[in-house]
Amino acid sequence: MIHRPLYPIQKNNLSASYLPKALLTIRQKKTPMTSQNKIISLSKNSFFDRESDTESKISDLTRANQYDTCGPSQKPNLSKIYHAKNNAKGYLLFKTLYTNACSFDCKYCINTRKEKKSSYTPEELANTFMQYRKNNLVDGLFLSSGIPKDPEAIMDKMLDTLELIRYRHRFQGYIHLKVLPGASYGSIKRASHLAQRLSINIEAPNKDRLSDLSTTKDYRIDILRRQRWLKNMDLSHGHTTQLVVGAGSETDLEILNMIDFEYNNFNIQRAFFSAFAPCRGTALEKKEKTEKLREVRLYNTDFLLRKYNFKIKEIKEILDDDNNLPKKDPKTLIAKNYFEKPVDINSATYIELLHVPGIGDISAKRIIEKRKITPIKKRHDLKKTGVIMHRADPYLKINGWHQRTLGI
């Protein structure tokens, strides 16, 4: 669908003379840059010869967004550039807030601190992003924002920014936009023409848990209703959500039930989990941080639900007495319940193969292809399909042989 440009498309106005010295040096050297040395260059240098208003805004607004992670075990990113992954492919995103001013009161959020607030203008943010992009320092943009008053007013500014990037600067690459809670249907529809991916954070697994953390967000109306709208919009990278883990007293079961509901009812592409870390000056500054392993186990289990079609019932069986995931690998624990005895590698179904620790989707498909030609009779042949044998051995029978114990 073609969306009519609201801005006249112009030639890109980033002439070499507009660029600060540091970037001109990078461009003139024409040295192939790895993602690592790109970031080192940025941190050592600056777009500007001296600290300017725009540069200090970039610092404030990228730092304010650093706790919004998008993947397992990522450290809060201290540069402006964020390493994202999609289907094992890595790419670099310029990740920033439009403004860190916010009138909402989410207890865990750094933007509730009483301190100087910053905001871009649409022109400023579009030009800044394009500077990064034109110098091949980033592949795309990840834009979110605080909400100073009316979510609609800030959505409007963010969308004006995206229109400048798309229609004036003709950038066709990846943009991920966070939809603000309470944004209108019209804004979200407009956003769906400008970004490949939209997301709205549910933050907590249900209404009660969210109300412990924020008095200003209505879970059902401001968030779930918007997700229902997103479900029917045409987005090449779909829509996602994120939760803060451990800021409240929610259990892993509550989180997993909600995520399962979201996969089944809102068609979310995936969920992200962000282990709570206290920020000085916020209402939860004294609360203990969430162990990173909890976040990792939620990602492991989410993967089983989302990619391997495991059932929530199987996951419930391995939870501890407090309805939380154990510290051990969930797939191994589920396998112990699932298999009464080792399964024959030549007759196991695809679903059975996926339940074997050490066998993933690719190796399961390879096994099925291989045994169509000839039965698998040796461990060595199985190993060649990519199976991690020491994990899989207790659950498999190969040519009549099987390991005698189901180890964990």
Selected range binding ligand SF4 among 31-39, 102-110, 268-276, 290-298, rule: CB under 6 A:
102-110
Decide: is 183 part of the binding site for ligand SF4 (CB under 6 A): no
Among 72, 140, 146, 357, binds ligand SF4 (CB under 6 A): 146
Residue 146 or 330 having the CB closest to ligand SF4: 146
Q: Do 112 and 280 meet the contact criterion of CB atoms below 8 Å apart?
A: no
Instruction: Give dist(CA 330, CA 342) in Å, integer.
Output: 18
Selected range binding ligand SF4 among 98-106, 153-161, 373-381, 385-393, rule: CB under 6 A:
98-106
Residue 112 or 131 having the CB closest to ligand SF4: 112
111: left (phi over 0), alpha (psi -120 to 50) or beta: alpha
Selected range binding ligand SF4 among 101-109, 116-124, 160-168, 371-379, rule: CB under 6 A:
101-109
Least separation in angstroms between CB 188 and ligand SF4: 16
Among 58, 147, 179, 387, binds ligand SF4 (CB under 6 A): 147
Residue 62 or 111 having the CB closest to ligand SF4: 111
- Tokens standing for 270? 């995936």
Q: Do 356 and 343 meet the contact criterion of CB atoms below 8 Å apart?
A: yes
Nearest to 234 by CA among 182, 188, 265: 188
Decide: is 132 part of the binding site for ligand SF4 (CB under 6 A): no
Nearest to 204 by CA among 150, 147, 152, 262: 262
Decide: is 284 part of the binding site for ligand SF4 (CB under 6 A): no
Residue 92 or 106 having the CB closest to ligand SF4: 106
Residue 151 or 330 having the CB closest to ligand SF4: 151
Decide: is 202 part of the binding site for ligand SF4 (CB under 6 A): no
Residue 143 or 304 having the CB closest to ligand SF4: 143
Decide: is 248 part of the binding site for ligand SF4 (CB under 6 A): no
**Is residue 279 exposed (0-12), middle (13-18) or buried (19+ Cβ within 10 Å)?**
middle
Among 61, 93, 106, 223, binds ligand SF4 (CB under 6 A): 106
Among 39, 109, 138, 158, binds ligand SF4 (CB under 6 A): 109
Residue 144 or 363 having the CB closest to ligand SF4: 144
Decide: is 276 part of the binding site for ligand SF4 (CB under 6 A): no
Decide: is 126 part of the binding site for ligand SF4 (CB under 6 A): no
Among 112, 127, 274, 282, binds ligand SF4 (CB under 6 A): 112
CA separation, residue 402 to residues 364, 379, 393 (Å): 19, 11, 7
Q: How many residues bind ligand SF4 (CB under 6 A)?
A: 8
Decide: is 179 part of the binding site for ligand SF4 (CB under 6 A): no
Decide: is 274 part of the binding site for ligand SF4 (CB under 6 A): no
Among 102, 210, 256, 315, binds ligand SF4 (CB under 6 A): 102
Selected range binding ligand SF4 among 16-24, 103-111, 234-242, 323-331, rule: CB under 6 A:
103-111
Residue 224 or 388 having the CB closest to ligand SF4: 224
Among 104, 129, 229, 273, binds ligand SF4 (CB under 6 A): 104
Decide: is 177 part of the binding site for ligand SF4 (CB under 6 A): no
Instruction: Give dist(CA 176, CA 238) in Å, integer.
Output: 10
Which residues make up the interface to ligand SF4 (CB under 6 A)?
A: 102, 104, 106, 109, 111-112, 146-147
